[in-house]
Copies of this chain bind each other. A is one copy, B any other.
């Protein structure tokens, strides 16, 4: 069986940047914590805790003795940022610049009287952070079906996307809005790395007969890669590390494609690749 890595995969600019920032801050601030996981990869989070003592705290009212707080790649809400500032802790912003952008757009458009629509998962921390910059509660839609259910579409709309969404689905939603509204301001806030990783996964999954996507199970961009792979290659699997791999998946397969989410460390991908290459078939 041939094993092929996607042309683009793994750590994106925003994740690399956040890890670098975190390692640096943690070296001089022993009690550093992140508000929620820095990235959606439990293995990398464990590494940061083990090697740098960086802890994860979900509750903003439970910072304990820590005087150094890092904002995760997905950003936090405007309200939580205010709360943090009032606590007088040292704040380091590791929000991915591709997330800061829709936050700013939503704030500006909302101030200018546009109704905000966000294409994304309203339970995802990135979307919650972006939502918080709108004056009125924005409309958050996970797909075109939920848009069609909202009834009356506002007349002046600004729309942004969660950075990890598929551009085709975003465009499909915009198409619907245009036919039902007078003015639509469309900001393509899908990040380049997402777009490139998706393209590469799409291409590879069209020739592979098994696809293995490596990444955290709560990582939105990893899940998108998995959905794309599955569309073209029904035998697609999402694994967090090499231990999730089952040899039976690979029986009578010729080409195994591997891709990985933007928050998946290289060493995890390497371990998965090695495990697959060394599989003993029955």
Residues of A within 8 A of B (CB): 167-168, 170-172, 174-176, 178-179, 181-188
In the complex, besides A174-B175, A174-B186, A182-B187, 11 extra interface pairs with C-beta distance below 8 angstroms are: A167-B178, A171-B174, A171-B178, A172-B175, A174-B174, A175-B175, A178-B186, A182-B188, A183-B188, A184-B185, A186-B186
Question: Is B186 in contact with A183, judged by CB distance below 8 angstroms?
Answer: yes
| Chain B: CB-nearest residue to A178 | B171
How far does the alpha carbon of A176 sit from the alpha carbon of B175 in the complex, in Å? 9
Listed residue (A179, A183, A185) with the most chain B CB atoms within 10 angstroms of its CB:
A179
Chain B residues with CB below 8 A from A167, complex form: 178-179
How far does the alpha carbon of A186 sit from the alpha carbon of B176 in the complex, in Å? 12
Chain B residues with CB below 8 A from A188, complex form: 178-179, 181-184
Chain B residues with CB below 8 A from A187, complex form: 182-183
How far does the alpha carbon of A167 sit from the alpha carbon of B182 in the complex, in Å? 11
Query: Which 3 pairs of residues, A with B, have the shortest CB-CB distance?
Result: A184-B186, A171-B175, A175-B175
Contact of A183 among B171, B181, B185 (CB under 8 A): B185
| Chain B: CB-nearest residue to A168 | B179
Question: Is A178 in contact with B174, judged by CB distance below 8 angstroms?
Answer: yes
How far does the alpha carbon of A228 sit from the alpha carbon of B281 in the complex, in Å? 60
How far does the alpha carbon of A184 sit from the alpha carbon of B183 in the complex, in Å? 11
How far does the alpha carbon of A62 sit from the alpha carbon of B247 in the complex, in Å? 86
Chain B residues with CB below 8 A from A178, complex form: 167, 170-171, 174, 186, 188
Listed residue (A167, A176, A182, A186) with the most chain B CB atoms within 10 angstroms of its CB:
A186
How far does the alpha carbon of A136 sit from the alpha carbon of B184 in the complex, in Å? 23
Chain B residues with CB below 8 A from A185, complex form: 183-186
Question: Is A179 in contact with B184, judged by CB distance below 8 angstroms?
Answer: no
Chain B residues with CB below 8 A from A176, complex form: 171
Min distance, Cβ A184 to any Cβ of chain B, angstroms: 4
Chain B residues with CB below 8 A from A170, complex form: 178-179
Min distance, Cβ A181 to any Cβ of chain B, angstroms: 6
Min distance, Cβ A152 to any Cβ of chain B, angstroms: 15
Min distance, Cβ A6 to any Cβ of chain B, angstroms: 20
| Chain B: CB-nearest residue to A170 | B178
How far does the alpha carbon of A269 sit from the alpha carbon of B174 in the complex, in Å? 38
Chain B residues with CB below 8 A from A172, complex form: 175
| Chain B: CB-nearest residue to A182 | B188
Chain B residues with CB below 8 A from A175, complex form: 171-172, 174-175
Chain B residues with CB below 8 A from A171, complex form: 174-176, 178-179
